[in-house]
Amino acid sequence: MITKEEVRHIAGLARIGVDEKDIEKFATDLSAVLDWIEELKEVDVSGIEPTAHITGMENRMREDAILEFENRKKIIDLFPEKKDNYGKVKSVL
Amino acid sequence: MIRELHEKLINKEITAVQLAEQYFDVISKKDKDIFAYLTLTKDLAIAQAKKVDEKIARGEEIGMLEGIPGAIKDMICVEGYRTTAGSKILDNYIAPYDATVIKNLKEAGAVILGKTNLDEFAMGSSTEHSAYGPTKNPRDLERVPGGSSGGSAAAVAASEAVWALGTDTGGSIRQPASFCGIVGLKPTYGRVSRYGAIAMGSSLDQIGPLTKTVEDAAIVLSVISGEDKMDSTSAQSPAKNYLQALTGEVSGLKIGIVKDYMEKLTGEVKVSFEKVVERYRESGAEIKEIELPNAKYSLPVYYIIMSCEVSSNLARFDGVKYGMRAEDQKDTMLDFSPEDRTLIETYLDSRKYGFGAEPKRRIMLGTYALSSGYYEAYYLRAQKVRTLIKKDFEKAFSEVDLILTPTTPSPAFKFGEKTNDPIEMYLEDIFTITANIVGVPAISVPGPEVEVDGKLLPQGFQLMGKWFDEEGVLRAAHAYEIDADK
């Protein structure tokens, strides 16, 4: 069971603003899904390697070279706030 | 279907521009009711079609997909056009580049009509989670088209496109194909480059075709597949012509049916599925019962792995680099005035107002499962069970060539039927999800239709093949299809 306090904590970690009135609903929904995935606890996984990549592909190397991106302006146009050719960010400190 | 249109183009019975315009006409008539499209790319389509017509006029040979109009799920970037992923957070996002599949399609001369609706960030099985409203099932407007590639499936089913691309993380190509009565193929993980597809679950996602026939799916796959430097997980295999695989022959083929699944089937879906099995048996395939003992854990494994990958992938939508930034919103989670939003408040509010309920649920679930103290109990354990499911498939594929299942536990449901209970909606994916967990290719093909409330509805069956054996999957699917047409 996920508590309302835990929902606040998770939402903060996930950087999602949540209204107080929605916290209860998220707590119920997340708890239901977590209860449902509990059944994985019954599986014996001792000595089993985890699978992160399914086709068993190994790391692939490439030359560390600069590739020019032609549509630079199109990316700059997407900045929500900009000054000249720079994306503007809120002050961090 | 593509082949006939191709013949018409080269015999000059119709021009590519006329063909594209015919499809735009159908869209303008039908899409008010169906809402398959979010954006039309008419300028692009006509420009592409003109090039094809010029080639034909010069007497040059054209490829099979050249001049043939199709639709693209709005999860895939088409340069210069809005790409929303069905979310408000990308409402104003204009893709600055083409996905590799789009680049390949453009090089092959395929004509792109527009971008299709989907559940927000491909999270859902009905398109009811789209921030722009749901798509309707062309076969019954009171029913969902399935999802998340519901717009693509509806566009093809309603003849608003000849072919379409979808993405499939847990069944998002195959389930809507089944609901709308068309063919949907999820290739092997890595067969098709994911570069330029908005990432959902990166170890599960694949792009694939939705089409009216298996042959059409083979034609589209031949164009979009192949190794890509821009996606380091794309498989090192040469581009292939999958049409050569369609021999119509299944005799001697070993097809597995899963004991557990058979026991769960009921009613009309069971009858439909048994007819499919019988048909393969009559065509000379050997039907063998197999077991996948750990497949029953597929849904929980999927929901952990997918949510964890989602929480990481969707971290990039923060109102800073692109997409929606919450500046005009009045209330904030914290008691600060909006004008003075700090960086953290910009994050919190952009994501609060930008994302719908389902992405939020999954981001939070993934964040929880990856957070300190829970990682081993959830994520690591799920990855280990994933290994066990993979081993089940390796064993099964040492005994059979293909695995046959229904695509969905029931045909298309009505709007609102499953929106209140997330788990009800998740159970839609029960037969499709394992193919993503183990990465194998899988196709949904229309089977015998089923009667619900006095109405016939489409019901698909699914064939899963060995890793990188798209040929085998397509061959068996095609054999059923040409047999059904007789």
One-letter identity of residue B416 = G
pLDDT category of residue B329 using cuts at 50, 70 and 90: low
pLDDT single digits (tens) B170-206: 999 999 999 999 999 999 999 999 999 999 999 999 9
Q: Is A34 on the interface with B (CB under 8 A)?
A: yes
The shortest C-alpha distance from A63 to chain B (Å) reads 11
pLDDT category of residue B328 using cuts at 50, 70 and 90: low
Whether the pLDDT of residue B107 is over 50: the answer is yes
Three-state helix/strand/coil letters over B420-483: CCHHHHHHHHCCCHHHHHHCCCEEEEECCCEEECCEEECCEEEEEECCCCHHHHHHHHHHHHHH
Q: Under an 8 A CB cutoff, do B439 and A54 touch?
A: yes
Q: Which residue of the set B87, B125, B130, B148 is catalytic?
A: B148
One-letter identity of residue B226 = G
Q: Under an 8 A CB cutoff, do A17 and B333 touch?
A: yes
One-letter identity of residue B404 = L
Whether the pLDDT of residue B237 is over 90: the answer is no
Nearest to A55 among B349, B353, B467 (CB): B467
Instruction: State the residue for tokens 């090039």.
Output: B51
Closest by CA to B169, choosing from B231, B103, B230, B125, is B125
Mean pLDDT by 10 residues, chain A (93 residues): 93 94 94 91 95 86 88 92 88 78
Closest by CA to B211, choosing from B139, B159, B282, is B159
Q: Under an 8 A CB cutoff, do B384 and A78 touch?
A: no
Choice between B483 and B243, residue whose per-residue pLDDT is larger = B243
pLDDT category of residue B326 using cuts at 50, 70 and 90: confident
Burial B386-409 (b: 16+ CB within 10 A, else e): bbbbbbbbeebbeebbbbbbbbbe
pLDDT category of residue B306 using cuts at 50, 70 and 90: very high
Contacts of residues B3-6 at CB distance under 8 Å and 24 or more positions apart, as own/partner, are B3/B64, B3/B215, B3/B219, B5/B67, B5/B68, B5/B162, B6/B62, B6/B64, B6/B66, B6/B67, B6/B68
Whether the pLDDT of residue B485 is over 80: the answer is no
Could you confirm whether B42 is annotated as catalytic? no
pLDDT single digits (tens) B447-469: 999 999 999 999 999 999 999 99
Nearest chain B residue to A30 by CA: give it: B365
Distance in angstroms (rounded) separating the CA atoms of residues B435 and B243: 23
Q: Which residues, other chains included, contact B469 with Cβ-Cβ below 8 Å and sequence gap of 6+?
A: B188, B401, B441
User: Per 3-state DSSP, what percentage of chain A is helix, strand, and coil (rounded to 5)?
Assistant: 40, 5, 55
Nearest chain A residue to B229 by CA: give it: A62
Nearest to B422 among A33, A57, A71 (CB): A33
Best residue in B360, B386, B388, B389 for a mutation probing chain A (most A CBs within 10 Å): B360
Q: How many CB atoms lie within 10 A of CB B133?
A: 12
Closest by CA to B463, choosing from B407, B394, B406, B404, is B404
One-letter identity of residue B260 = D
Distance in angstroms (rounded) separating the CA atoms of residues B183 and B193: 21
Q: Which residues, other chains included, contact B25 with Cβ-Cβ below 8 Å and sequence gap of 6+?
A: none
Q: Which residue of the set B149, B152, B172, B307 is catalytic?
A: B172
**What was the pLDDT predicted at B336?**
46
**What was the pLDDT predicted at B330?**
52
Q: How far is CA B78 from CA A55, B62, B75, B196, in A?
A: 28, 23, 10, 8
Closest by CA to B100, choosing from B185, B190, B224, is B224
Could you confirm whether B30 is annotated as catalytic? no
Q: Under an 8 A CB cutoff, do A50 and B301 touch?
A: no
Q: Do the Cβ atoms of B39 and B81 come closer than 8 Å?
A: yes
Could you confirm whether B172 is annotated as catalytic? yes
The shortest C-alpha distance from A31 to chain B (Å) reads 9
Q: Which residues, other chains included, contact B292 with Cβ-Cβ below 8 Å and sequence gap of 6+?
A: B258, B260, B389, B392, B393, B396, B434
- Residues of B whose CB is below 8 A from A91: 342-343
**What was the pLDDT predicted at A61?**
86
Q: Is B159 on the interface with A (CB under 8 A)?
A: no
Distance in angstroms (rounded) separating the CA atoms of residues B453 and B437: 35
